[in-house]
Structure 1
Amino acid sequence: MVAAVFSGVALKHSNASADAAKRSADSSDRSAAAAERSAVVDEATLAEIRRETEERRAAEEEAARPRPAFVVEASARQAWDGTQAPYRRYILRNTGTGPATNVRGMLPEQTGVSVNFPFGESLRPGEGYEFTVDEDGRFPPVIAIHLTWDGQDEPVAVPVPQ
């Protein structure tokens, strides 16, 4: 009888121990699954941080890249071509930080005005190109020129001083 009681108590403890081991194993499985989900989230977060860092670096490099910029200055030399038509001299100057190659100038929708714009010129920073504009009064005054250059296919308007 005593052996049966000890056997019953031992069986009860054995069952409790088995249940505790099963709960522990289940908890361990849940913990492993949570750790795996956390690792996946950490990898995704790290990939996003890397992507943002690369985008920021590329934007900073692009902002720091040397670029041409232009202004039109009135030339100190004014001209008369020997006929009745006076014309003005201007200087197209690259005021940017980088060179411009194959610079091409044009007037925006203005015909009949005589202009000797740059066509295919290369201008390093600080360099200028002198051009003239016929000002005989038959046409509206030139208020801007449009420029394109290698890497800038969309014309850029540059005001002309009056």
Structure 2
Amino acid sequence: MLQVAISYAQPGDVLIVSSGDQAAGQFGDVLANACVARGITALVTDGGVRDTREIRELGFPVFSKHVYIEGTVKESLGPINHPLVFGDQVIYPGDVIKGDCDGVVVIRREEVAEAIELSRARDEAEAGYIERYKQGETPLEVSNLTALLEAKGLVVE
């Protein structure tokens, strides 16, 4: 079904593949090249991938649960462009997917503006914390934790 999904995906799409935690390498460098050629921006799967070196060299972002050399059959059928449960979360077609070295987050289309605003606010706050550390403050001071932890019984000897 990956071949079908890749064939119908639009430029800018992220493929989300739920394979039922199947470890087999359902995706490799050949399909990664097909994705790049079609303008697909990434693949997220709870299944397996193979050819990881080649995929990294290609620069195609892939987030997978497994890396496994054995391939899969190509004629199995499954739904395309339908809601699916992935990692205990329902993902709907059109949701925004953001991934980096730390993992993947799913944002409902109607919540994107709020998520961007909250992310910017967090980035600004964290930059402020780092600046305060550089000025000599401790994490306890910056986070206002001293009194709270002392009230809970923190003793530093």
The TM-score with structure 1 as length reference comes to 0.18
Higher strand share: 1
The TM-score with structure 2 as length reference comes to 0.18
